[in-house]
Structure 1
Amino acid sequence: MGLLYPRLLAAQAQALHEEYRRLTISELVKVAATTHDSAVYIATGGDRVREEQLQELRRVVLDLACEGGFPSESDRNLRAVFDLNVAAALHANMQLVPAEAASGDVWAFMALVLLPDVAYWRYPMPPGDRVLGTDLTRHVFGRMWWRAQLVHSSDDSDPYAALKILGEAAFDQIYARRKALGNSPYLVKSILRVWNGLDLKGLDEREVLRDFLKRLLRLAPFVLFESVHADALEAELRAAARDAVVALMRTAGLQADELEAKLEGVFSGSLDTAR
């Protein structure tokens, strides 16, 4: 059973955000805490996270932030590395179940009480959805926990290796379609394995991915992805990816022989390298 985390309700979260967005990082360090008078817990069974566990979680995330340049300004590459590291760290250490992680109020507590200095360092002067938990695809910490949840593979030597396959913008394309695709770790991991086996040099990867996902969305009403054997599912996904690549190549005006040669290069990689 997972742990229950404090929840910071919307009105109080909004008030703190309005105050904290005007503070410096050094000032935010001083207001970071493991408790808040307005925090509540959901009235269901389960063990509440202990204060020492929250302290340890803060230490882990703060250490990762320091590696990324905290409290000074960072650069794009360091922020990207921080995001991947914090995704794995949050998922591995928080002991959250998906139902608890689906609460924006939990993530509001994380960003505005436990780690406000890190949250506002990662996103200086952020729009509210980066810290309030109103949109988990945008939340500074919530979005990363969910990325880790969807790719986590306990059988692999590195359970979070698949985090590196897609960048944030590309992964968000999957998670934004979560009602049909992004709520299934089984499907998401299969998508990533197929994608990792493609050689898309010279192609617009974002356009290929967008078309690929559109084709999967059209399949979703007719295919229960979770019930399809892994090999059959990956074959189906490869076929959809192939159709997406062909469509993009045809818009570029490639002739049939050129198209076939290009396709052979795109799909020559073995899926075994992505497992």
Structure 2
Amino acid sequence: MTGTKLLPRLSPIGVEKCLASLRDQTDGYLEPGATMDHRLKAYEAHIWYAASGGSVDRALVEEIMGKVSDIAHHCGYPAPATDRKRASFDTRVAAYFGQHPDLGGGELLRDDVWAFMSCVLLQEFTIWRYSVERKARFAGGVRNTFQRLWVRGRTLDLGPEYEKRWHLLGTLSEDAMVQIFERASIASNACLARAIAMAWEAAADRIGRGRMEKVMRQATKLIRLRNQVIDLSYLSEEALTAEINSAFTRASSEIASDSDAMKAEEEQFSAYDRMSQALSR
């Protein structure tokens, strides 16, 4: 029987040390490309492992460092990151985490594991993707640079039987991702999260991506309210899809109605303004 593969964890004090050293480039600052041994040595006082239940797997940690480094360089690192490069990086890393057979256990549910990833193991890529001033991207939690990608990859994986297994990762906008994965009532239910992602894609194809931010926010409100009336997690896949699509259809109609009303008011105001100018001549 194979035990759990334990990953390093970084304490909250270690996160603070990382942020302070990055600002001042003092003790704890890691030069890009620093070796694994150097990284572990720099933060050894703040790194720890689960007391039991598995064994430390250095090979897995080194693999993660190497693979994410390869992805980052493929996406343009160390040149300044553009929006397109960041999006490509996020999609590729999320897919890597999502399909990795050793990255699906309870260890990955720990915020301090992801703090280690962002602050120590993958420090230079956290800085490249964001900046040293974004504490939430270093500390563990829903906004951690890599934890958020792991959750997306594990949730939006359509399975190896699909030709476009990861297309939801590349299709959804960042705003849509935030609406799904920064709300516990949605993100905690993988089936619900995937249904919303698919409904978003269908709505975007129908009305255009440019209008989807308002539609997504309104649909999310409707879905969360609906979830208070009936527990969506107990619905069949067909019933859940129908509920979510209904919310997006309603949200699209409401946004369109508001836009039409606003356009009518603007046209009425413009006509009034032209009339006033004509009378004042």
- Matching of residue 30 in structure 1 with residue 48 in structure 2: no
Provide the residue aligned with 1:186 in structure 2.
191
Give the match's secondary structure for 2:59.
Answer: helix
CA contact (8 A) 2:7 2:61 kept: no
Alpha-carbon distance between aligned partners in 1 of 2:70 and 2:239, rounded to the nearest angstrom: 42
Provide the residue aligned with 2:12 in structure 1.
10
Provide the residue aligned with 1:58 in structure 2.
65
Structure 2 stretches lacking a partner, 5+ long = 262-281
- Matching of residue 41 in structure 1 with residue 49 in structure 2: yes
1:61-90: CA deviations, max 9, x gaps? 000111122122222111110111011112
Alpha-carbon distance between aligned partners in 2 of 1:149 and 1:10, rounded to the nearest angstrom: 26
Give the match's secondary structure for 1:30.
Answer: coil
Aligned length: 250
Which is worse superposed, 80-89 or 25-34?
25-34
Provide the residue aligned with 1:235 in structure 2.
242
Give the match's secondary structure for 1:197.
Answer: helix
Alpha-carbon distance between aligned partners in 1 of 2:174 and 2:82, rounded to the nearest angstrom: 15
Give the match's secondary structure for 2:230.
Answer: coil
Identity of aligned residues (%): 26
Q: 1:110 to 1:93 in 2, by over 3 A?
A: same
Q: 1:223 to 1:2 in 2, by over 3 A?
A: farther
Give the C-alpha shift of residue 201 in structure 1.
Answer: 2.3
Map 1:147-162 to 2 at 5 A: 147-154=152-159, 155-162=161-168
- TM-score by length of structure 2 reads 0.80
Which residue, out of 127, 141, 144, partners 2:146?
141
Alpha-carbon distance between aligned partners in 1 of 2:84 and 2:105, rounded to the nearest angstrom: 29
Give the match's secondary structure for 1:251.
Answer: helix
Which is worse superposed, 62-71 or 155-164?
155-164
CA contact (8 A) 2:168 2:197 kept: yes
- Matching of residue 19 in structure 1 with residue 21 in structure 2: yes
Provide the residue aligned with 2:174 in structure 1.
168
AA matched with 2:153: A
Does 1 or 2 have the higher relative contact order (CA < 8 Å, sep 6+)?
1
CA contact (8 A) 2:98 2:152 kept: no
Give the C-alpha shift of residue 4 in structure 1.
Answer: 2.5
Map 1:110-125 to 2 at 5 A: 110-125=117-132
Give the match's secondary structure for 1:3.
Answer: strand
Give the C-alpha shift of residue 31 in structure 1.
Answer: 6.4
Alpha-carbon distance between aligned partners in 2 of 1:54 and 1:169, rounded to the nearest angstrom: 31
Give the C-alpha shift of residue 187 in structure 1.
Answer: 0.8
Alpha-carbon distance between aligned partners in 2 of 1:4 and 1:225, rounded to the nearest angstrom: 34
Give the C-alpha shift of residue 209 in structure 1.
Answer: 0.4
Give the C-alpha shift of residue 101 in structure 1.
Answer: 2.4
**Which protein is richer in helix relative to its size?**
2
Alpha-carbon distance between aligned partners in 2 of 1:191 and 1:2, rounded to the nearest angstrom: 32
Provide the residue aligned with 2:110 in structure 1.
103
Q: 1:69 to 1:11 in 2, by over 3 A?
A: same
Give the match's secondary structure for 1:204.
Answer: helix
Structure 1 stretches lacking a partner, 5+ long = 255-275
Which is worse superposed, 17-26 or 164-173?
17-26
1:76-108: CA deviations, max 9, x gaps? 111110111011112333723464323221011
- Matching of residue 77 in structure 1 with residue 81 in structure 2: no
Give the match's secondary structure for 1:132.
Answer: coil
CA contact (8 A) 2:97 2:150 kept: yes
Alpha-carbon distance between aligned partners in 2 of 1:17 and 1:208, rounded to the nearest angstrom: 37
CA contact (8 A) 1:21 1:120 kept: no
